[in-house]
Each structure stands twice: as structure tokens, then as C-alpha cells.
Amino acid sequence: MDYLSVANVAEKWGLSERTVRNYCSRGKIPGAFLTGKTWNIPENAVRPDRVNKRKGQPKTLLEFLKAENAGKVSGGIYHKIQIELTYNSNHIEGSCLTHDQTRYIYETNTIGIDAGSVNVDDIVETANHFRCIDICIDQANFTLRESFIKQLHLVLKSGTSDSRKDWFAVGNYKRFPNEVGGRTTTEPEEVAGKMKELLTCYNAGKNKTLEDLLEFHYRFESIHPFQDGNGRVGRLILFKECLRNNLVPFIIDDTLKMFYYRGLHEWPSERGYLTDTCLTAQDRFKKYLDYFRIPYDDKPHQDV
């Protein structure tokens, strides 16, 4: 192979000799090597992209979220999702924080209280939930694993009064039986095996549909693997998997809460209740996307 000098390459690429030397020293030109103080550059070397080369515009919701998060953009879709998903998911589980208080915590790291009192756990879990959403965005394209699910629970419950209880396993599966809606759930001794079985089944297929996600969600909530926080962790997983599979996410709000609960209860015999509820929530989420001019796949809903 023939090699060129820094001067030759600089002239060939239309760059300064200093820039070419920097490329070589930083390992950006494969095959370049030093002889004494002289760089030898392969004749067929390709010019590296400049560090400040402008990237293309985001094309998917996930790309928009990553870009806005990295750029600390305020008032965009990332900002909107942090507040709406956190407020509504916590509110379903009994948080007494208002929508405005949730927004203030996110935007100013403070909380306004006009009268009465606020449960400290509600504040801590709200701040923690913001971090959980970031984790879902950062790891959206990774295969769903037990370690990720346990990480969400660890972050969500860290610093709460539950985390100071010896028997409460933060970031790990439950130690004592629990119920959901008056219904029994998987025994603690069987949770690890059931979760491995669920994830193996779920990860076996590719190109997940909404029905696949809802089936996972139903089975996850039926297992109820953690002592507390299962609903919020489950909905965070749904959000992450929607991003991964380029499906429009959805947020269950107060008007849909009872339909959501009914859908989970009836899923084994009638899948339409939960599906219709989530499709309605998806349609509402599309209004956010339309407002922020974010493209999405708007294929007609399939019968499921």
C-alpha cells in the first residue's frame, strides 16, 4: 500500500496540515502511523467527518426526545412527556400532588404549598419518576431485561419511607405476598421464575405490536413482582417499549383510569376493553405529536 504525507493529504482533502495531524493523533484515520515525527497516511484513506458537522433533523419521537434531553430544551415534547406521564402515573397510585406542583418540581426543583401538607414520598417519587423517564429514553433500543426493570424500581423508590423499611426490597422482587384490586398475585418464591419466563416469551418475537405490549403489561401486573410501585414501573416499561417499536406511546389519565383497570381485569376473556382504552390514549397523545410537529406512523388501527 502507498502512503501519503500530511501535506499531500491536506491538499487532497482541502484541509490545513494541522487538522490532518489532529485527525491522525486522535485515531480518526485508520492505518495512519508515525515514523519518527512523520505521519504516514494510507493513500485510500477517507476524510473523517468534522466534529462540528451538523446532524440531520430527528425523524422519530425517540430521536426528538434524545435531542431535546441532550440540549436541555424547555417547552418541547420531552418537557411535556416528563410532566404528563409523571403526574398521571403517580396520580393513579394515589399521589396527592397537583399537576401544577408536579410541573413546578420539574421546572424549578421546588414545590409550592398554599395550605395543608404534602406527603414527602409523593415529592421524592415525582423527582425519581423524572429520572426513570430519562432511563427509558436512554435505554429505549435495548432488549427488555430483568436488570432494567429492577433499575426502574430502584430509582423510583430510592429515598422514600419504604426504602427505610428492612423488609421492603428496593430494586428487588417482593418478599411478602401482595394483592392488586383485591386479587391475589404471584407468590414471592415464584416471582423470579415467572419473570424470567415472561421476558423469554416476550423477547422471542420481533416487531412488537400494541397487543404484544398489552399482553406483557397484563402478565407483569398479574405477577406484581415488587412490594410496591408495580403500576408505575409497568407503565414506564410500556413507554419504553413503545419508543423501541416506533409505536405511539399513551398516558392513562383520570378519565381513563377505571377503563384501564377494567381492561386489565377482563384481559384474559375480553381484550377489547384494554385495547380500546389504550387506543383512545394513543389518539390523545397524537395531539401532542401534531402540535410539536413530530411525525408518527398513522396506519389504521388493526383489529386485535
145 labeled part of a ligand binding site: no
112 assigned ligand-binding residue:
no
- Among the listed residues 129, 153, 217, 224, the single catalytic one is 224
> Quick check: is 224 catalytic?
yes
The response to whether 103 counts as a known ligand-binding position is no
**Residue 228, annotated ligand binder?**
yes
d(CA 245, CA 136): 13
Q: What separation, in Å, do the N-terminal and C-terminal C-alpha atoms of the chain show?
A: 60
Annotation-wise, does 131 bind a ligand? no
Is 104 annotated as a binding-site member?
no
What are 75-83's contacts with CB under 8 Å, separation 24+?
76/292, 77/288, 77/289, 77/292, 77/294, 78/137, 79/106, 80/288, 80/292, 81/133, 81/249, 81/288, 82/106, 82/130, 82/133
Cell 421546588 found at: 110
In a 13 Å sphere around the CA of 178, the CA atoms on its Cβ side amount to: 19
Residues 97, 90 contacting (CB under 8 angstroms): yes
Which are the contacts of 160, defined by CB distance < 8 A and separation ≥ 6? 121, 124, 125, 128
User: Does 231 belong to an annotated binding site?
Assistant: yes
Helix (H, G, I), strand (E, B) or coil at 4: strand
Q: Is residue 78 within a helix (H) or strand (E), and if so which, with residue range?
A: helix 77-92
The CA-atom distances, in angstroms, between 165 and each of 160, 168, 173 are 10, 5, 14
Distance of CA 69 to the CA centre of its chain: 12
The answer to the question of whether 106 is labelled as a binding residue is: no
Active site residues: 224
Binding-site residues sit at 228-235, 260-261
Binding positions for ATP are 228-235, 260-261
